[in-house]
Structure 1
Amino acid sequence: MARHMKHHADPTRRALLGSMAAAGGLAALGWPGGARAAAPSRGGHVRYGVRGGSTTDSLDPGTYSHAFVRTMGYAFCNTLVEIDGNNRLQPELLEFWEGSKGAASWVFRLRPGITFHDGKALTADDVIATVQHHVRPGSTSGARALMTAIKGMERLDDLTVRFTLEAGNADFPAIFSDYRMMVMPARDGVADFASGIGTGGYVLKNFEPGVRASLERNPNYWRADRAFFDSVDILAMSDATSRQNALLTGAIDVMDQADLKTVHMLKRKSGIEVASTTGGLHYTYAMNAELAPYDNMDLRLALKYGVDREALLQKVLRGYGSLGNDHPVAPTMAYYAADIEQRAYDPDRARHHLKKAGLDNVSLSLSVTDGLYQGAVDGVTLYREQLAPVGIDLEIARVPTDGFWTDTWMKKPFVAGIWGTRATADMILSAAYESTAAWNESFWREPRFDALLKAARTELDESRRAELYRDMQVMIRDEGAAVIPLFADNVFALSDRIGHPEAMSGAWELDGGRSIERWWIKA
């Protein structure tokens, strides 16, 4: 890390390293940079079955919201920054970065000699166009909130960009590890996402939204230590049983999100490996805080005290996870406030808050789809039973998986959701809880919270920064409009002919979303 920042930025360096030390509970990436298994071999075709996938899917990274497009995107694109096996930020497309004293100015230097799949050289213009794509007027990109601190971008030369921020941000480089920040080629100053051209280890050959993506190894890839498969098919398979049956019959080689009800039997199957990683993956029941009755904080507290988290952990996740406390900062993340009292199931207290909201009983509808995550509908069914003694009649509104992210999520007033790990606390809070965030799924807008978030970004004193993040966790827990009952492990399965690093990232499903680039077929 020392080589990526000047010595005069030492306070910023300490803050950034501190925030990344346990970022998202990421395990060592393994090959290369962490513990490693047998040396990878090149060749072969591999077939993936992953959840998500919609006919409305786009090649625009700003719209990515589920495993199908994320897995595809990481295969044909790169980001400026990634996370290494020691849980530290490392440059990917970048050669280095330098932060000024106070962290309000950052210089990013690209690696020379990198080309897009069409032969176009990667330059500073592509970086600027990629950022502008997310912050342009009218942008609905999920990464827009992460970019709001940028006041200006300056092209210093073909490979160098200077970012000037409205205020210091000790975590600024971490933003560029986000999967939506995949670098796109600039065409006449505008990011070209529609062509499906990237700098990644694989070339996108075919993309059928919501159905499949086909890729072939990029023969001119700039990394010699990645991209081992010859070719890959990614199939959108939202049903866990279908994925499992496809794996068992040899129709696919890798599946994400194993069915936890039957994972113990899957473990006993010859030729199959079941693996899991821990991170900040969490589930939400998000209310629209701008609509009645969810605009009443006591009604929201009734819903929070009315969920039996331990029961959900055991019955839905089969123990593969940990309890949530109605805020998104995971126990594995830096600045997690372990001293905040864990909220427990308390029907009496829930009834108390329901009456404070002026209600003796109420009927609500919670929208959910089977393809959201394994056990999503089961969890809502249990939640319905747990709320009954409170006086809350919860209708389960099951909706199709196809179109869920465009037609239901952030459209219906009470919706089940899922969030993957972010590299820092600031990134998840900025993406989902800052008032201006495009993906503020609970529509909770609190100026006091925004002020704390802004202050934490510029605070270089670790103790004070921890206090600010604690205050934000308490505020979301007690005032926010999302029930966050669980943090879930990523549990997946693959053919034992597939090789992978001994330790894998828990940032996203399947080795931080980057398994196509990092895994191989055993010789």
Structure 2
Amino acid sequence: GTGTGAFVPVEFQIDIETKVRRNPTYWREGLPLLDGMDQFIITDGTTRFTALLTGQIDYFGEGSASLLAGQVEQVQKSFSDTIHINPALHSWGKGIQVNQNRPPFDDVRVRKALHLAIDRDEWIDFTQAGTQVAAKRPTNWMPPGTIWALPDEELMALPGWRRGDGKAEDIVEANRLLDEALGKDVRFSIACMAQSSQIYIDGCLFFQDQMKKNVNVEVTSDFVESAVQGERGRAEQYDVHYGSKVTTNVGDPDDYYMLSAVPEFESWYYKNTGAFNSSNDLAVEIEAMVRAQSKELDVAKRRDMVWEIERKLATEAFFQIPYPWTFIFPAWSKQVRGWTLGPFPSQIKWAQFERTWLSR
């Protein structure tokens, strides 16, 4: 960084370790409380978890490499006296990115059918972590709990998010749309690309189950390493891609909308792939709406503009398919004090490091 933070780097070994030490010229007197931190790169999740349980590391699991469901359950059953788990809404939400440059995904009826065919309550059950719920329902694209997210009661009444009889009607409509788009009982297969890590593998496996069960669409798994994922993603060489398809830094709409809907800012990982080819008029309209809300300084007016974008994405575009927003399960030794995590912590947690200390 700029050298004005609580800690300064003293050693960096790529893919191994980073060491930071107390900044002697830090501008806040008496802080930071720690002398330093050693941050280890441990790519194997089981090894990381074992290191936490055995006291070799004090902190683990913030970010996409959160504790898995089975690990949460194990801590709750056997290590709750020494390990603290802090569920938090992640700075990323999961979803399915649809490549609209590939038929039949260029047909909005097909995309809508895939959206309707997902029972989001079953994803909540699928990801249950011990006694903890691992996803926030309902969610469209704006971070849940912020003023930008559609009211829960409105979203829960929309096709795709409904429960009970409403969900049954959604599945009937999904099959009708596929029959209309492809021919009576004609179906197709989908390759679901995802990074070869369990948290991403699970998303494709769930999608596979939902598509087969509800609309008789076959989904094959296409699990790849991160570098391959990036190469193929940028080249748009995939049918659908499961991953962290919505992001937020501070809960602001621009954090995601600019990356997904505005060409000069878009990222392959978040963009509405092929939208300007399959649904040009709608994509242009949504881009204009995104630019307009970004300039609006009146918060109430901007909120209403964002809600209109959310409604359009949820009922007309179906450029991507949102899953319920992800909870992560960071965990740390109970000897770590002065540290907690609130919603969407990844880009704002750093301010706490100056006040963190160890009770040993």
TM-score, normalised by the number of residues in structure 1: 0.56
Which aligned pairs between 1:281-292 and structure 2 lie closer than 5 A? 281-292=92-103
SS in 1 for 2:323: strand
Deviation at 1:271, TM superposition (A): 1.4
The answer on whether the counterparts of 2:192 and 2:222 sit within 8 Å (CA) in structure 1 is yes
Distance in 2 (CA, whole Å) between partners of 1:504 and 1:457 is 28
Distance in 2 (CA, whole Å) between partners of 1:480 and 1:517 is 44
Q: 1:396 is matched with which residue: 215, 221, 226?
A: 221
Q: Does 2:155 correspond to 1:331?
A: no
The corresponding residue for 2:359 is: 522
Q: Does 2:191 correspond to 1:380?
A: no
Q: 1:422 is matched with which residue: 236, 244, 249?
A: 249
Deviation at 1:465, TM superposition (A): 2.5
The corresponding residue for 1:252 is: 57
Which aligned pairs between 1:75-154 and structure 2 lie closer than 5 A? 77=1, 116-117=2-3
The corresponding residue for 2:164 is: none
Q: 2:330 is matched with which residue: 482, 492, 497?
A: 492
Q: Does 2:309 correspond to 1:472?
A: yes
Q: Does 2:334 correspond to 1:506?
A: no
Note the alpha carbon deviations across 1:427-455, whole angstroms, 9 max, x for none.
22123333332314332341111211222
Q: Does 2:22 correspond to 1:213?
A: no
The answer on whether the counterparts of 1:505 and 1:511 sit within 8 Å (CA) in structure 2 is no
Gaps of 5+ in 2: 162-166, 277-282
The corresponding residue for 1:274 is: 85
The answer on whether the counterparts of 2:15 and 2:41 sit within 8 Å (CA) in structure 1 is yes
Distance in 1 (CA, whole Å) between partners of 2:45 and 2:348 is 19
The letter for the 1-side match of 2:242 is: A
1:518/1:330 CA distance change after superposition, 3 Å: same
Gaps of 5+ in 1: 1-76, 78-115, 118-198
Deviates more, 1:505-514 or 1:453-462: 505-514
Deviation at 1:239, TM superposition (A): 4.1
The answer on whether the counterparts of 2:193 and 2:204 sit within 8 Å (CA) in structure 1 is no
1:514/1:361 CA distance change after superposition, 3 Å: farther
Deviation at 1:468, TM superposition (A): 1.2
The letter for the 2-side match of 1:351 is: N
1:427/1:221 CA distance change after superposition, 3 Å: same
Which aligned pairs between 1:6-405 and structure 2 lie closer than 5 A? 77=1, 116-117=2-3, 199-224=4-29, 227-256=32-61, 257-267=66-76, 268-269=78-79, 270-278=81-89, 281-318=92-129, 319-325=133-139, 327-338=140-151, 339-340=154-155, 341-342=157-158, 343-344=160-161, 345=167, 346-358=170-182, 360-371=186-197, 375-389=199-213, 390-401=215-226, 403=227
Q: 2:262 is matched with which residue: 434, 440, 447?
A: 434
Deviation at 1:388, TM superposition (A): 0.7
Distance in 1 (CA, whole Å) between partners of 2:359 and 2:199 is 32
SS in 1 for 2:329: strand
Note the alpha carbon deviations across 1:161-190, whole angstroms, 9 max, x for none.
xxxxxxxxxxxxxxxxxxxxxxxxxxxxxx
Note the alpha carbon deviations across 1:35-92, whole angstroms, 9 max, x for none.
xxxxxxxxxxxxxxxxxxxxxxxxxxxxxxxxxxxxxxxxxx3xxxxxxxxxxxxxxx
Distance in 1 (CA, whole Å) between partners of 2:264 and 2:128 is 33
Q: Does 2:255 correspond to 1:447?
A: no
The letter for the 1-side match of 2:147 is: A
The answer on whether the counterparts of 1:281 and 1:490 sit within 8 Å (CA) in structure 2 is no
The letter for the 2-side match of 1:246 is: A
Deviation at 1:357, TM superposition (A): 2.9
The structure with the largest helix share of the pair is 2
The corresponding residue for 1:185 is: none
1:472/1:296 CA distance change after superposition, 3 Å: same
The answer on whether the counterparts of 2:86 and 2:341 sit within 8 Å (CA) in structure 1 is no
Deviation at 1:494, TM superposition (A): 0.5
The answer on whether the counterparts of 1:298 and 1:354 sit within 8 Å (CA) in structure 2 is yes
Distance in 2 (CA, whole Å) between partners of 1:324 and 1:485 is 9
The answer on whether the counterparts of 1:490 and 1:509 sit within 8 Å (CA) in structure 2 is no
Identity over aligned pairs, percent: 18
The corresponding residue for 2:279 is: none
Distance in 1 (CA, whole Å) between partners of 2:261 and 2:171 is 27
Q: Does 2:318 correspond to 1:457?
A: no
TM-score, normalised by the number of residues in structure 2: 0.80
1:375/1:427 CA distance change after superposition, 3 Å: closer
The answer on whether the counterparts of 2:248 and 2:255 sit within 8 Å (CA) in structure 1 is no
1:202/1:286 CA distance change after superposition, 3 Å: same
Give the structure, 1 or 2, with the largest relative contact order (CA under 8 Å, sep 6 or more).
Answer: 2
SS in 2 for 1:262: helix
1:507/1:494 CA distance change after superposition, 3 Å: same
Distance in 2 (CA, whole Å) between partners of 1:404 and 1:395 is 17
Task: Calculate the aligned-residue CA RMSD, in Å.
Answer: 2.7
The letter for the 1-side match of 2:324 is: L
The answer on whether the counterparts of 1:217 and 1:230 sit within 8 Å (CA) in structure 2 is yes
Distance in 1 (CA, whole Å) between partners of 2:182 and 2:38 is 54
